[in-house]
Structure 1
Amino acid sequence: MYSIEKFLKWYKTKFVKKPISVMIITIVAILTGINTVFDTASHVVSLGHSTINLFTDKYKEDYQKLNEIRTGMNADYVGKLFGPPSISRKHEYLKGYFERLYVKDQFFLYLVTNEDNSIKYYSVTQRMNDFNPYFPIEIAGRKKQLGKTKLVELNNNSPEFVMADMSSKFISYTETNYYGNSGLYKYYQFGYAPAGITQISDQQNSDIHYLVDNIDPIVLHRFRQTYIPNSFSVIDEEVEEDFFNYYKESMIGIDYFEARGYN
């Protein structure tokens, strides 16, 4: 009752005497309220985008650092990017070469250098599902990411070499690809590293077991159509034949048994 009486009093004393002025004031008040609503909505949307970018870019710095690594560069530069390696030692099997291993929560970075400290091989292996650095080569003019890209999307043709291995503790798969000029004449490897995250189906597991003894084109094709690698490596274009043969026939990434010490 009180609110109705108040409204009638206002109507008689204000609106009836000065209707145009009151109407203008009312319209301005309404528009101000609408602007406030839109400003608030805009702020909420902006905050949402900021939150999304925060999660999307949480590994951005690591991606940028990994993208700077190239074969042929001095390995000490990698130390400036990631700090001192967890392991630095002579190569166990290749005379005149040295190994460096960087262990991070989200990835393993493994380097092989010569006596001049030049990087001749390096690999990156996922340790977390949401860690998806870009491959160091564009495929058909497009950048693709580790942990998001199927083997067939990295090379629609059969790879140059395939290596599948297994033991009572692990299985592994490594394929070696060559892209010529577009790949700067280096060799690029993609595969399943048992040291990394396990994203492999029963069928893919079965296919790898079969490929250990028989690189059957049908089985290989089926596997490559669905498997998303958890590791990649790059072999420099200027390496000796023994070096190249060793890594084309090796488990991609770091040794499985050594990696278990960091889990």
Structure 2
Amino acid sequence: AKLRIAPFLIEPEIIEPLTLTTNQPGTYSIQIRAEPVPRPAEGNYDQIHQIEVLPKSETNFRSIKHFRAEKFYREGLETSPNAQNFNLKNIRTLLNEGFTDDELRRLCFDEVAFKPVCNQLSSSMGKDKIVDKFIEYAERRELMERLLDLAKEHNPEKYRKYQPYRNLTDSGAATRDPYIPSHKDSSPNTINIFVFYRMGLEILLNQLEKASEGYALAITLQQQLVENMNWAERFGDTREYKSERARIIEQLNNLSRLHLGRTFNSLCGL
């Protein structure tokens, strides 16, 4: 079985099976403690990884070699690192009032980032359910900002009418699982550079969308970078997150240089 481990996707070596039984699909997290490995200088360390549970009553997972699972805990979509920032009630109203059924279906065909939603829609599905599919997918893939941009472009009047779409306060601290270690990197440099990266991603996607070339890859890299930053902000900016982020930034620089003639870092103002 494949484990979706943020920000990586791997097929681990198997040593012993684990089973998580649930009646409700969603996003879960797994607390994993490293056993002694062939790199003793690094020692043992805890990591928080994310896995995605498919809509089945029982899903089998397998542990990674050199690791053992310490604890599963539920972290539904409503408490994901990103979800607390958005007013889902207003977003749902915006999509229901700002689009017809056909327009929503066309949106997932026309917009590269939302093409996977098409596979979840049936011909008999009502608009309320279609809206739910868009919102669920946008939350899982860190695409809520993109979804709001599309809604604003499609129907500016409705977009203005149903604001605000972001919550004023972040209640994530109140819903934090006490088992999760809280060790965010509070370095101003880290926080500030994430702001620049998010700004650069928006500029890059807007310019590549017009050029069409490279847009699909940019969406994939955007999802990876946003996911990386969210987890770094929540659980601490570890060496693993920094290394993975450097790889993503290098790919974004190459992509931007190829299609726009300038690096991603320059788009970020760095």
TM bucket (normalised to shorter chain) is under 0.3
Could you say which structure has the higher helix fraction?
Answer: 2
Question: TM-score, normalized by length of structure 2?
Answer: 0.22
Question: TM-score, normalized by length of structure 1?
Answer: 0.23
Which structure has the larger Rg? 1
